[in-house]
């Protein structure tokens, strides 16, 4: 392209900004300027990705990323790797999380608030004793007190109130329908009775009084007039010499709450009322709320945090001394039975061993494992946690015995098809996939001594896990 001056101009020299609208300039549409911004009515949700960024209650030290365009990043990676290799930093905090074993509830209680938040935010361990899942009783109690003070209520209270109103409305509607039916039946009976042309006795009495005894009607009218005059009689407060009494109306001011009025013969003035007004109490400062909730860990979670991660220390409720890991395994095996089993009666297929094998297996694979008694299963598997999405899989644990063993001949671990179809139907209704987890039970397991010489890892490696996913087959959805 040539210009009148003869200089060639390239397409890159043409200013493009002139053809595009300026984004920094204000909008030319007056309707868009006058339009008010929408007001946020709902509170903003917390950033769960930042709160639950750590999958386990451990401190990790990842190496920096390698940038191919920057060769110095490789030197930085080598320096950090060598420094951590020479003096490796600890992944555990200085003070371990402390819990107390409760033989009454077969669980471990955590009472420290910082430890409670750490266990829930880093792996979703435990359950609040006064909450559904997350230990949020203190926050809900503060919201309830604030709502009761300023009016309104919490979400739970509003839901409960709506349910009560709906229940009362249904009862009132049923009562009104019953009264309407009864009134209709009464009118129909009255219509049938009026067809007989009977004279009402009360009407006969009124006719007799008005025609036969007119003086009784006049006396009754006089008595009603006297009663009306006594009710509407006013007290004369004007000039006593005047024939017509005048009524003096005294205006009484509206008094604040807490005012005491001393009655006497003379009307009270505003000065007397001001002197008798009680001083207004100052608003008392809100007393701090004591957190009455603690975190409750089941046996599998407690042993995983103690043995696999080393982030928990469990104390004996009688002596307040830490329980060794080997003794803790035997203690949990005993309390997995009801009533508590003796140490000599423990078997390789103890409920605690079977549950912990499955729990440890899926936790090591990165799943968040939660109890599944709500959905008629043993465990629920979450991809990241309950606050991000619903559980995807429901686990059912079935022990598998070696062929020829006494348990295999007795048919232990075999479940009927009717039971399996019922459980599978429940999981399909809640949109979860049913996973049957077979745990192969060894014939013998090494005994765990109190001195801790027994290798717990060797004990756990004697078990094998096999899993099968079962889906409910629907004929109308599987047709071609």
Positions annotated as catalytic residues are 382, 390, 432
Degrees, nearest 5: CA angle 301-318-132: 35
* Alpha-carbon distances of 215 from 205, 218, 307, rounded to whole Å: 15, 5, 106
Sequence-distant (6+) residues with CB within 8 A of 121 are 51, 52, 54
CA-nearest of 354, 355, 438 to 400 is 438
Sequence-distant (6+) residues with CB within 8 A of 41 are none
| CA dist., res. 309 & res. 326, Å (int) | 15
| CA dist., res. 334 & res. 339, Å (int) | 9
* Preceding omega of 403 cis (within 30 degrees of 0): no
| CA dist., res. 384 & res. 368, Å (int) | 6
């Amino acid at each position: 392209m040539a210009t009148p001056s003869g200089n060639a101009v390239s397409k890159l020299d043409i200013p493009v900004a002139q053809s595009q609208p300026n984004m920094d300039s204000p909008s030319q549409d007056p309707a868009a300027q006058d339009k008010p911004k929408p007001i946020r009515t709902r509170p903003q949700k917390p950033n769960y990705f930042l709160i639950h960024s750590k999958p386990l209650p451990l401190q990790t030290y990842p190496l920096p990323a390698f940038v191919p365009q920057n060769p110095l990043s490789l030197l930085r990676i080598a320096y950090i790797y060598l420094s951590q290799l020479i003096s490796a930093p600890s992944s555990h905090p200085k003070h371990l999380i402390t819990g107390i074993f409760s033989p009454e509830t077969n669980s471990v209680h955590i009472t420290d608030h910082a430890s409670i938040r750490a266990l829930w935010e880093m792996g979703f361990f435990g359950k609040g004793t006064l909450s559904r899942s997350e230990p949020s009783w203190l926050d809900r109690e503060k919201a309830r007190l604030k709502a009761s003070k300023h009016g309104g209520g919490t979400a739970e209270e509003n839901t409960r109130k709506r349910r009560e109103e709906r229940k009362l409305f249904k009862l009132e509607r049923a009562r009104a329908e019953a009264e309407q039916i009864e009134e209709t039946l009464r009118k129909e009976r009255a219509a049938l009775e009026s067809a007989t042309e009977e004279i009402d006795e009360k009407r006969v009495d009124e006719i007799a009084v008005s025609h036969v005894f007119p003086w009784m009607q006049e006396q009754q009218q006089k008595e009603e007039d006297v009663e009306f005059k006594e009710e509407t009689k006013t007290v004369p407060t004007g000039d006593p010499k005047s024939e017509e009494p005048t009524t003096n109306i005294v205006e009484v001011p509206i008094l604040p709450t807490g005012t005491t009025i001393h009655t006497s013969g003379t009307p009270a003035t505003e000065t007397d009322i001001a002197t008798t007004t009680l001083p207004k109490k100052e608003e008392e400062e809100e007393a701090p709320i004591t957190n009455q909730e603690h975190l409750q860990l089941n046996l599998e979670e407690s042993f995983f945090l103690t043995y696999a991660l080393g982030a928990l220390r469990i104390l004996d409720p009688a002596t307040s001394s830490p329980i060794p890991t080997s003794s803790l395994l035997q203690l949990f095996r005993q309390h997995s039975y009801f009533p508590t089993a003796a140490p000599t009666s423990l078997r390789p297929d103890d409920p605690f061993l079977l549950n912990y094998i499955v729990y440890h297996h899926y936790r090591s694979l990165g799943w968040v494992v939660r109890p599944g008694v709500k959905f008629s299963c043993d465990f629920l598997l979450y991809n990241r946690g309950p606050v991000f999405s619903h559980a995807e899989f429901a686990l059912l644990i079935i022990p598998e015995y070696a062929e020829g063993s006494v348990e295999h001949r007795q048919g232990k671990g075999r479940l009927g098809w009717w039971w399996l179809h019922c459980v599978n139907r429940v999981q399909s209704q809640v949109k979860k996939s049913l996973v049957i987890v077979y745990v192969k039970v060894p014939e013998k397991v090494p005994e765990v001594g109190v001195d801790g010489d027994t290798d717990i890892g060797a004990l756990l490696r004697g078990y094998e896990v096999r899993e099968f996913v079962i889906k409910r087959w629907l004929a109308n959805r599987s047709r071609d």
